[in-house]
Amino acid sequence: MNVKINSLIEINQILAIYDDRRFFKIGDPFIPHTKIVVKVISHSQEKKIQIIKFRRRKHSRKKQGHRQKFTMIKVKKLFQQKDKKWRTKEQAVLQEMEEILNQKD
């Protein structure tokens, strides 16, 4: 990502949400009306991996390396929109739990 370190980014395309309280939601393909605000911690690269292609009895081989780049982020806040109002993560979890309990009745 071409973003400065310590800057805040808003991400609208959320694939899944997981919470410590066993709350898990998967999008189809994205979770609608949801956004998160994240802070960029650092930009770095993974450890180098070796790719070796070898053809037997042909005296032919190819060696190549690759380092995947990544951006480390920290989630600051999660918002979900319900009836034109943005809710925080805690409000969203409580409302989801209430909906589940009401469905069982």
Would you list the domain boundaries of the chain? 8-104
Task: Answer yes or no: pTM beyond 0.85.
Answer: no
Helix H or strand E segment including 95: helix 89-104
Tell which wins on pLDDT, 25 or 14.
14
- CA–CA distance, 6 with 13 (Å, rounded to integer): 21
pLDDT grade for 94, boundaries at 50, 70 and 90? confident
Q: Identify whether the C-beta of residue 15 lies closer than 8 Å to the C-beta of residue 36.
A: no
Which has the closest alpha carbon to 90: 21, 1, 3? 21
Average pLDDT over residues 13-30: 81
Q: Identify whether the C-beta of residue 33 lies closer than 8 Å to the C-beta of residue 50.
A: no
Q: Provide φ and ψ at 61, rounded to 5°.
A: -150, 155
Q: What are the tens digits of pLDDT across the range 34-83? A: 889 999 999 999 999 999 999 999 999 999 999 999 999 999 988 877 65
Q: Identify whether the C-beta of residue 33 lies closer than 8 Å to the C-beta of residue 82.
A: yes
Q: What are the tens digits of pLDDT across the range 56-70? A: 999 999 999 999 999
